[in-house]
């Protein structure tokens, strides 16, 4: 597996966050409780953001 740079990781996080925002527009908690597909999609997108931001994978801070 090739290494992914920080900029690409941030792009993955941003894309997932945008999808979360889009999928949840006009929804409330009861909508989420009643829609298994929405639940699964949101969980997967959160997993993507978590994997993309894993501290062990980010480049060291350069201050």
Is 24 within a domain? yes
For residue 47, the enclosing domain spans 20-54
More reliable by pLDDT, 51 or 43: 43
Tokens coding 36: 């298994």
Is 36 within a domain? yes
| 17 burial level (CB within 10 Å; 0-12, 13-18, 19+) | middle
What percent of the chain shows pLDDT beyond 70?
79
pLDDT digits (tens, 9 = 90+) for 23-40: 999 999 998 899 999 999
Q: Is 70 exceeded by the pLDDT of residue 51?
A: yes
Is 34 within a domain? yes
Is 5 within a domain? no
Is 43 within a domain? yes
- CA torsion, ordered 19, 5, 48, 14, to nearest 10 deg: -20
Domain total of the chain: 1
Cα–Cα distance, 22 to 9 (Å, whole number): 20
Is 48 within a domain? yes
Cα–Cα distance, 55 to 37 (Å, whole number): 29
């Amino acid at each position: 597996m090739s290494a992914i740079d920080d900029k690409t990781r941030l792009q993955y996080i941003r894309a997932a966050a945008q999808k979360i925002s889009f999928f949840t527009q006009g929804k409330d908690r009861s909508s989420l409780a009643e829609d298994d597909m929405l639940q699964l999609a949101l969980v997967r997108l959160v997993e993507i953001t978590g994997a993309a931001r894993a501290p062990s994978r980010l480049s060291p801070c350069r201050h």
